[in-house]
Structure 1
Amino acid sequence: MTHIHLTALGLTLILFFIVYALFAAKKHKIAVVLHQIHRITYLFVIMTGFILLPMLPFSLGRISKVVLGLLTIGVMEIVLVHKSKDHIKVRDWLFFVIFLIVTIVAGLLLPLGFYLL
């Protein structure tokens, strides 16, 4: 199930950058369509994440990973909506990068992730 979750994450990140580039290129019609498809990939990421949740015992790290994942998805949406309206700021990208890195590191440190130590 982990590989399905990682595939959904990869697809979501790829679509995020494609939609952002389309908004930057002022191709709003195709960007809006792909943005809606991108929102569907959010659901796949959330669903597979919640399926993975009960596979191991409850811990604070797992709950914080869920919260970080939801915040990352929220910041992704904020970046795209602000870009579609040309109100993007550096802080939007900064929050996105910080939340994405912290979420990935938290996921790798959990028992279903890789052993980094």
Structure 2
Amino acid sequence: MGFLTDTTHFHILTWVVGIVLFLVSASMASGTKGKKIAHMILRLFYILIIVSGAALFFTHMGLNSMLYGIKFVLGLFTIGFMEMTLVRGNKGKNTGLMWILFIVFLLATLFVGFKLPLGFDFLA
């Protein structure tokens, strides 16, 4: 399981694919079969994002426990707002607030993630 904890590459790959799938699913017409398939694949990537993030968290939290914990919680909120945006959109409800919260939490998660010892140092 070293590929999960040696570097952040797998984790970054999963959340980049997850964000792309989220945007693709959000842009599709509501109620179509393609949207349901994209949403189900996105849910699989939610699990991959959480598993790879948890593996990194438990392996490297000794480096800076508070920042890793904050990043973990922010990541969970980001995934939650992604899911709530799609579900509210499928139900025909207003998604404006969910989009704003998703963007805010995504940017906060990225900022904290890049500040971590294993993160890339181009936003800090």
| TM-score normalised by structure 1 residue count | 0.91
State the match for 1:108 in structure 2: 114
Structure 1: runs of 5 or more not aligned: none
Alignment map for 1:1-80 (pairs within 5 Å)? 1-22=7-28, 25-26=29-30, 28-53=32-57, 54-57=59-62, 59-80=65-86
1:4 counterpart letter in structure 2: F
Cα distance in 2 between the residues matched to 1:74 and 1:14: 16
C-alpha RMSD over aligned residues? 1.4
SS at match of 2:93: coil
Is this contact kept in 1: 2:30–2:89, CA < 8 A? Answer: no
State the match for 2:95 in structure 1: 89
Cα distance in 2 between the residues matched to 1:71 and 1:26: 24
Cα distance in 2 between the residues matched to 1:9 and 1:29: 23
Is this contact kept in 2: 1:28–1:84, CA < 8 A? Answer: no
State the match for 1:98 in structure 2: 104
1:97 counterpart letter in structure 2: I
Moved more, 50-59 or 29-38: 50-59
Structure 2: runs of 5 or more not aligned: 1-6
SS at match of 2:117: coil
- C-alpha displacement at 1:90, in angstroms? 1.6
- C-alpha displacement at 1:51, in angstroms? 1.1
| TM-score normalised by structure 2 residue count | 0.86
Cα distance in 2 between the residues matched to 1:26 and 1:84: 6
Is this contact kept in 1: 2:88–2:94, CA < 8 A? Answer: yes
- C-alpha displacement at 1:26, in angstroms? 3.7
Which aligned segments of 4 or more residues in structure 1 are displaced greater than 3 angstroms?
none
Percent identity reads 34
**Structure number with higher relative contact order (C-alpha < 8 Å, ≥ 6 residues apart):** 1
